[in-house]
Amino acid sequence: MRLCVGTSKGIVILDADRGGAPLLISADPPSVWCLARDCYDPRVIFAGSVQNAQAGSARGKGSLARSGDGGRTWQDITPASIRDEEVWAMAASIHRTGELIIGTSHARVLRSVDTGRSFQECGAFLKISGRDRWSLPISPYAPRVRSLAFDPTDPETFYVGVEEGGLFRSADGGASFKPLNHGLPDDVHCVAADPSDRTRLYVATGRGLYVSADRGASWSRAKGLSRHYAVTLFADRHDSGSLYLAAAAGPPPQWSVGSRGADAMLFRSSDHGSSFVPFGVNGDAGPSRAMLMRLAAGREGEGVMYGAFNDGSIVRINERQASIRTIAEKLPPAYDLITLSE
């Protein structure tokens, strides 16, 4: 199994079956924060870049790149309209090849249906009521799209999570948007739809994990979590009801100055988010200094996932054995990863 890892200094391709040996290291595209893979052609990968001092990232001239050969070579495809923006989130359609949605550092949403050759801005997202009040608590203050997710059954429906703006749903391919923020904090970091139940949504926020059983009409705060700055979540499509959440004790500024780092933990739910238990790390379910930034599924049927940490380590998670093993370390800070075809 090969992994494509997005780091603060570019792309790393790893062989997960051979001890995480690096197969390729590329500084172009730089400062990769998010990755996506076409649902039909696994050779087509997209990478979004940011400039973020806390994350140790310094973006180059382009914020969006595409590879057509599994990450070996890359082409800058940044739309002219966002040359001064960063790409903080992206999602490739799980229904149709060539479709990609990206979210930027000033809370803009753009959509492509031709594998990134052209993009159309979702203008309705710029007209959402109350948008002028969205703001991060620290400089540069501008809100940003942090998460995008497609509905598991409807190709026209997708969700947009805005850090310090809330959650929104489009049911018509981006022509209009509906806020889903009744009882939900504005500080949205990650959104996922349950693969086996489209009415059930999960949102990781700066104040914990929130669960909706009615497509976002109402929300409840998840119980059983000892860490509440929720960063990323993963709804396992191979194991119905299985949900993973990585959460820290506090926000990113504390991760580098606190004596315990992020003081982060990984939690698992086997009942669609109704309850959670800590998930063991090498037999130890205790906290870690590093923050788990992203999870990706391994081969179908193996019960394996892979995770990327902000200290540059990559892990292999065996769900059945409830264990985590480091397969690569001392990479630049890693923020996203996807699995590639053999």
Peptide bond into 143 cis (omega under 30): no
3 domain residue, yes or no: no
161 domain residue, yes or no: yes
Cβ–Cβ under 8 Å, residues 164 and 134:
yes
Cβ–Cβ under 8 Å, residues 165 and 153:
no
Q: What is the pLDDT of residues 175-195, one digit of tens each?
A: 999 999 999 999 999 999 999
Tokens representing residue 1 in the block = 């199994």
| Cα distance between residue 23 and residue 131, in whole Å | 44
75 domain residue, yes or no: no
313 domain residue, yes or no: yes
68 domain residue, yes or no: no
| Cα distance between residue 313 and residue 35, in whole Å | 17
Scanning the chain, the segments in alpha helix (DSSP H) are none
**Helix, strand, coil fractions of the chain, as percent rounded to 5:** 5, 45, 50
Peptide bond into 140 cis (omega under 30): yes
233: CATH: 2.130.10.10
| Cα distance between residue 32 and residue 279, in whole Å | 27
**pLDDT less than 70: residues of the chain:** 52-61, 239, 280-285, 341-342
Q: What is the pLDDT of residues 109-164, one digit of tens each?
A: 999 999 999 999 999 999 999 999 999 988 788 999 999 999 999 999 999 999 99
Kind plus residue range of the DSSP H or E element containing 297: strand 292-297
341 domain residue, yes or no: no
pLDDT at position 165: 97
pLDDT at position 282: 46
| Cα distance between residue 99 and residue 169, in whole Å | 17
Q: Which domain holds residue 136?
A: 35-49+80-328
Closest CA to 46 of 72, 9, 71: 71
DSSP symbol at 42: T
3-state secondary structure of 126: helix
pLDDT at position 241: 74
203 domain residue, yes or no: yes
pLDDT at position 285: 64
Closest CA to 192 of 159, 156, 227: 159
Closest CA to 225 of 247, 240, 242: 247
Work out how many domains the chain is built from and give that number. 1
| Cα distance between residue 206 and residue 216, in whole Å | 18
| Cα distance between residue 8 and residue 339, in whole Å | 19
Residue 177 CB coordination number (10 Å): 21
CA distance readout (Å), 43 to 6, 204, 327: 16, 30, 23
E strands of 8-131, at which residues?
10-15, 21-26, 32-37, 45-49, 64-67, 75-76, 87-92, 100-104, 109-112, 120-121
1 domain residue, yes or no: no
Largest CA distance in the chain: 51
pLDDT at position 340: 92
| Cα distance between residue 281 and residue 97, in whole Å | 36
pTM of the model: 0.94
